[in-house]
Structures are given as C-alpha cells and as structure tokens.
Amino acid sequence: MANPNTALLIIDAQVNMFDPAFAVHDADDILEKLKGLVSLARTSGTQVIFVQHSGPVGAVDEPRAPGWLLHPELSVEEGDLITQKTEFSAFSNAELAPRLRSKGIQKLIIAGMQSELCIASTCQAAVAEGFGVTLVADAHTTYDSETESAPEIIARVNKELKEIATLWRIEEIHP
C-alpha cells in the first residue's frame, strides 16, 4: 500500500451505518476491515481520507447529528483528510479532485458504504477524473434491497467495477 501517490478513501463510515437498529450487512466485520485498512495506510505513510455523506435536515446523517459523525473506532488522526458530500459520489464535492492532485495523488484505494450507491459512483467518478482505482472487494457493504440481498449486491458491484478498477481483497494488501 505504501506509495506517496496513493490515498485510501473510506466512504461513509458514519455512526448511522453501524446503528444496531439499521446496520449495514456484516457491519462488525466491515468495521474491523476498515480499521485494518486505516492502520495499514497510516503505518505505510499512505494518505487517509474519510468521506462523510451530509444528508438533509432531519435525516440521520444531517451534518452534526449523531449519525453523521465518523465511527469513533475510526479515529481521525493528524494528517488525515475529511471531506463531505451531498450526493453519492465523493467527487460531487468539487474540491476533492483538485485537493488530491495538489498532494500528488494519482491512485485511490476505496472501501466503505454503500456498495451500489456511493462506492460505485465514487469509483466511476474517480476513473473519469483520471485516477487509478483499486476497490477493496471485501471491504464495502450495503443493505438488502427489495430484489437483492446485500451479498448479491456486493458481488454484482464487484463484477461491474472490475471493468474499470483493480479489485483487491484484504489479504492481498501489504504495506
């Protein structure tokens, strides 16, 4: 993972996604994987970037609401970047791409929530912006839909994004 031109993007790892009343699929396992990725990135000197979704007034992810906060076990450290978005793609925040380029970042490792929405949109937008993308195939998740289970959605997203991104599994990532 160690490379000064690479950043780890953790997408929407916010308190509301892990709320036991409405947690994403495999929430505890995903949290452990995200913590491991963040630790590995920091150890290797890879830039860590947390992306937060800012929902509308009254939503669980309304800015400053308890559900909007990053999960406390993913503690932000000096040198980490935090960026907010109001749409699915992290690149809907027009400041993200220039901020990455100003730091010399050319490649992104992406993990987090939700597979078919923010993960897929961010991967697609990153490629459109000219960044190389690696999706951590077993470190993103979502909720069941009316027609597909979360594992089916995750598998479908991995298959679709394989066309534009490199897919890694946790055990394939090394410092």
d(CA 34, CA 136): 10
| CB 9, CB 91: distance < 8 Å | no
118 catalytic residue (yes or no):
yes
Give residue 108's Cα distance to chain centre.
10
Only one residue has tokens 């308190």, namely 15
Q: Catalytic one among 118, 123, 137, 161?
A: 118
Q: What is the DSSP string of the chain?
A: ---TTEEEEEE--BGGGG-TTSPPTTHHHHHHHHHHHHHHHHHHT-EEEEEEE---TTSTTSTTSGGGSBPTTS---TT-EEEEESSSSGGGSTTHHHHHHHTT--EEEEEEE-IIIIIHHHHHHHHHTT-EEEEEEEEEE----SSS-HHHHHHHHHHHHTTTSEEE-GGG---
Catalytic residues: 118
